Amino acid sequence: MIAPTEVQPASKEFWLRVARTVLTSRAIDRIEEQEMTPKGLVTYQFSARGHDLAQAILSEMITHPHDGATCYYRSRPFVLGQGLTAEEAFRGSLARSGGMTDGRDIGVVHLLRRRERGTVLPASGDVGAQYSPGAGWAQSVQYYAKTLSDKNYEGAISVALGGDGSTATNGFWAALNIATTLELPMLFFIEDNGFGISTVSDFQTPGKNIAKNLAAFTNLELFECKGYEPVDAEKNIRAAVEYVRTWQGPALIRLEVPRLSGHSFVDTQSYKSPELRKTEESHDPLPKLEAFLTKNLISATEWSVLVDEVESQVRGASDRALAAPIPDTSIVTKHVFSPEVQSSEEGPRSSAPGPRMNLQDAVRKVLEVELEANPKLLIFGEDVGAKGGVHGATVDLQIRYGADRVFDTSLSEEGIIGRSVGMAISGLKPVPEIQFRKYADPATEQINDCGTMRWRTLSKFSAPMVVRIPVGFGKKTGDPWHSVSGEAVFAHTIGWRIAYPSNTDDAVGLLRTALRGDDPTFFFEHRALLDTSQARSNYPGDEFTLPFGKARLHREGTRATVVTWGAMVDRAAQAAEGLDVEILDMRTIVPWDKEAVLKSVKKTNRVLVLHEDNWTCGLGGEIAATISQEAFTCLDAPVERLATADCPVPYNTTLMDVVVPTVQRIREKLEQLVVF
Ligand SMILES: Cc1ncc(C[n+]2csc(CCOP(=O)(O)OP(=O)(O)O)c2C)c(N)n1
């Protein structure tokens, strides 16, 4: 490792590029702060004044084609250094076309597909959400280089930029655990301005100093410097980047920086004393940079020429951005999913019927086939490695495919999904397992941001992954923690497809479609169906796929239709015995097959929507509303619903049977419905 004191002085060209980035960032901030925001043209202005020098220096060192950076709203100087133009920056903050998101996202939520330097992964509005995708990128880099032996990835790194406030978030700790346990090439770049909006950093980490507090952390190299002093910052940032780039392990650098403007434009900083404001002004890195350059590398005249040149370039960029059109309104709802989500093709079944399998073995078989077919596919989660998963769906896969491809993770769902985001953006196909539906809760932020990524970035970025989750009550028991179905919450989460198979055949087809697809997908494995005779079927073959959004006619009938999915399909079938009732198994929740539902209802004129998820705002409400609106004149009875009561699933099975729809209660409903 080179110590900061041993770092060779940087070249004149290096410093001139740094100066250009800092001056450009300053000019953009000034025009936004003094002209555009007061006029109401920019709504979200997060000035980088004070943070700019350190970021510009860092950006000069993130130059490997496979470097990845995850950043936050104050990271514009860094992104300018990576190739964002001033005009694109203005177009972004003005919400005009030609910005990074064409007015979909606020200009400071940065992203940049690789130009000449690294890739800036899509940022998030959520503080701390940048870290675990950064860890995923770092793990990918190692996977490409070491497991896939792609030499192009050697020496690439991941860097995550964040403020002192962000070090208190779940995301920070999730990523720190991943990076240090796996010794990943990841740099945590912490810009400590002493405040998270108005909250002082004593509330973020005891004694204010995150680097000091992490001194005992194994596998973490620490650096600290004044991010506003050109030489001190450059030496320390270089030493930290060098440490990570030589793949000695992760590092964290804490840079003291002044926040010279309010948190955002509307923040008056009334909580700062005049003395503190004065101290912060004295730490302004721009005069320090000017002094350093004019003393050592260029004349005062050359400095003035550079300032004027940048000023006029930025002014030109601002004029052009102000003249840019508003984005195209006709495509605002496009880019939520990949175009292939529309596919209605079914893949071929094998010519001879395969062995009869339960749903769990079929899932394992599909994972095995796809691991074999796609070297970029990785399977991971809590206990999925050596044990093979607490439900057994990944048994022996680690033995066959190695611990680089099938592995245990730290116990952090935020980390599991966040890491998957970084991996997916790097081109891998992550297939994480969440142990039970309820335990996806800590990953909510990453799930939401992943789902909106394609739309936010106009398909410049997306993070396709398949999240397998055992759901629903068990064969012998329920409970509030392991027996949650919960598809409605995910159906409400933009950008995610959901498969909810009721049997082996569908599970094979839908899982393979998801694994070969290009959208984030939840794949629900119902606990009570993992090993039951009703769900078993013959394995349909290694190329069999099923389209999403195509329901399956489970049973034909003419007097009423039951629209259902998952474990309720079999309960409905038992309940309908001897009755002339049609059962539609939806198979996928997003998209759901509206056409098939309407067709069946128009035939039977009566319908019961049945689900295991709880009643209020369940998908049944959506389906019922659609039927009422689009098949009203065909109905001979009110649209009926049956769902789990708005109450947690009880442990005691007698209690559970009062809450979750049973065969008997479904039967009663159907008997009433067919004679209505
Ligand atoms: C998850 C989440 N909680 C709260 C917020 C609101 N918020 C935005 S910025 C911020 C302070 C962040 O401070 P810090 O990480 O130190 O960065 P700085 O703004 O000081 O550069 C807060 C609370 C948010 N964006 N995301």
pLDDT at residue 1 is higher than 80: no
- Residue closest via CA to ligand 1's atom 20 equals 196
pLDDT at residue 400 is higher than 80: yes
User: For the chain, which domains are there?
Assistant: 4-325 (3.40.50.970), 339-538 (3.40.50.970), 552-674 (3.40.50.920)
Instruction: Determine the pLDDT at residue 340.
Output: 79
Residues 47-92 have pLDDT tens digits of: 999 999 999 999 999 999 999 999 999 999 999 999 999 999 999 9
Q: Where are the alpha helices (DSSP H) in 169-252?
A: 170-181, 210-213, 230-245
Q: Which residues are catalytic?
A: 482
* Closest-lying ligand 1 atom to the alpha carbon of residue 167: 15
Average pLDDT estimate for 258-284: 96
What residues have CB less than 8 Å from 30, skipping those under 6 apart? Answer: none
Instruction: Determine the pLDDT at residue 502.
Output: 98
* pTM (two decimals): 0.97
Q: What spatial distance separates the first Cα and last Cα of the chain, rounded to whole Å? A: 80
Residue 169 exposure: Cα atoms within 13 Å on the Cβ side? 22
Average pLDDT estimate for 383-411: 96
Residue 274 class from Cβ within 10 Å (0-12 exposed, 13-18 middle, 19+ buried)? Answer: exposed
Instruction: Determine the pLDDT at residue 191.
Output: 98
**Tokens coding 452:** 């909106």
Instruction: Determine the pLDDT at residue 277.
Output: 96
How would residue 290 be classed by pLDDT, with cut points 50, 70 and 90?
Answer: very high
Under 8 Å between Cβ of 586 and 592: yes
Residues 443-472 have pLDDT tens digits of: 999 999 999 999 999 999 999 999 999 999
Q: In the chain, what percentage of residues exceed pLDDT 90?
A: 97
Count CB neighbours of 12 within 10 A: 12
197, 205, 265, 448: which to mutate for ligand 1, most atoms within 8 A of CB? 197
Question: Comparing C-alpha atoms, which of 572, 556, 580, 554 is closest to residue 610?
Answer: 572
Q: In the chain, what percentage of residues exceed pLDDT 70?
A: 100
- The alpha carbon of 655 and the centre of ligand 1 are apart by a number of angstroms equal to 44
**Cα–Cα distance measured from residue 409 to residue 431, given in angstroms and rounded to the nearest whole number:** 12
3-class DSSP string for 293-317: HHHHCCCHHHHHHHHHHHHHHHHHH
Bond into 591 cis (ω within 30): yes
| DSSP assignment letter at 448 | H
Helix 359-373 and helix 504-516, axial crossing angle in degrees, nearest 10: 30
Residues 626-668 have pLDDT tens digits of: 999 999 999 999 999 999 999 999 999 999 999 999 999 999 9
- The alpha carbon of 173 and the centre of ligand 1 are apart by a number of angstroms equal to 16
How would residue 353 be classed by pLDDT, with cut points 50, 70 and 90?
Answer: confident
How would residue 287 be classed by pLDDT, with cut points 50, 70 and 90?
Answer: very high
How would residue 7 be classed by pLDDT, with cut points 50, 70 and 90?
Answer: confident
| Single-letter amino acid, residue 172 | F
pLDDT at residue 342 is higher than 70: no
Ligand 1 surroundings by CB, under 6 angstroms = 74, 125-127, 162-166, 193, 195-197, 259, 263
Average pLDDT estimate for 97-102: 94
- The alpha carbon of 642 and the centre of ligand 1 are apart by a number of angstroms equal to 43
Under 8 Å between Cβ of 53 and 18: yes
Under 8 Å between Cβ of 250 and 186: yes
- Residue closest via CA to ligand 1's atom 11 equals 196
Q: Where are the alpha helices (DSSP H) in 605-649?
A: 619-630
* Closest-lying ligand 1 atom to the alpha carbon of residue 197: 11
- The alpha carbon of 242 and the centre of ligand 1 are apart by a number of angstroms equal to 29
**Cα–Cα distance measured from residue 124 to residue 133, given in angstroms and rounded to the nearest whole number:** 11
Under 8 Å between Cβ of 431 and 394: no
Instruction: Determine the pLDDT at residue 344.
Output: 75
pLDDT at residue 341 is higher than 70: no
- The alpha carbon of 67 and the centre of ligand 1 are apart by a number of angstroms equal to 25
44, 46, 49, 127: which to mutate for ligand 1, most atoms within 8 A of CB? 127
Residues 162-190 have pLDDT tens digits of: 999 999 999 999 999 999 999 999 999 99
**Cα–Cα distance measured from residue 612 to residue 180, given in angstroms and rounded to the nearest whole number:** 41
- Residue closest via CA to ligand 1's atom 13 equals 196
- The alpha carbon of 274 and the centre of ligand 1 are apart by a number of angstroms equal to 23
| DSSP assignment letter at 166 | G
Instruction: Determine the pLDDT at residue 414.
Output: 98
* Closest-lying ligand 1 atom to the alpha carbon of residue 126: 26
Instruction: Determine the pLDDT at residue 639.
Output: 98
Average pLDDT estimate for 420-437: 98
Residues 484-523 have pLDDT tens digits of: 999 999 999 999 999 999 999 999 999 999 999 999 999 9
